[in-house]
Amino acid sequence: MKNTIVLASASPRRSELLDSAGVMFRVAPADICEDALPNEEPVDHVLRLAEEKAKASAASGVDGRFFLGADTIVLCDGEIMGKPKDAADAERMLRKLSGVPHEVVTGFAIYDKERDGALREAVRTKVYFKHLRDEEISSYIATGCPFDKAGAYAIQGGAAHMVQKIEGSYTNVVGLPLCEVLEKLRVMGALQ
């Protein structure tokens, strides 16, 4: 268990992505305050939260050496969109994203408990939504899918038809930039 990789997230999407790459890991979610600091830049925000999650999971007493934390936001016209508070907030977000490009930014951190050091990276993907009709927005909200997703949508699920194109990492939009994460795990010696 000494070199175990621990995912500091309860996100089933992040677990599915690591599983799809054949990574052996355990899950030990971290519960931290995710509020932005005053004047905190979006990239600094996701990197800070990712590292705090990784370190909080490591401090929880879970066996393991490499702790992976991640945080994803949607950026649209300068607004940081996290998870919607309620249906009205989800509707507001989807209306704002309708017909305009936005960015999905995921920060991740891998904390090596043995060496007490972390590697961090932020990955940005540009996403283009089609113009959404009112009934598309209301029926998508009725599915319940938007409520635990940054920006109120999941590209891998019911919102796939809303996305015209992306520029960058698809897995980043899902919630974990897999290519970059695996490379950093290799650099740290967690993977062969």
How do residues 84-141 score in pLDDT, each as one tens digit? 999 999 999 999 999 999 999 999 999 999 999 999 999 999 999 999 999 999 999 9
112 tagged catalytic: no
Contacts of 95 (CB under 8 A, 6+ apart): 132, 137
Q: Determine the Cα–Cα distance for residues 106 and 73; give it in Å rounded to an integer.
A: 6
Which position among 19, 71, 134, 148 bears the catalytic label? 71
Q: Give the start-to-end residue ranges of the domains of the chain.
A: 5-188
pLDDT score recorded for residue 148: 87
| CATH class of the region 5-188 | alpha beta
CB 88 within 8 A of CB 115: no
Indicate left, alpha or beta for 102 from its phi (over 0: left) and psi (-120 to 50: alpha).
beta
Residue 3 confidence (pLDDT) above 80 = no
Residue 2 confidence (pLDDT) above 70 = no
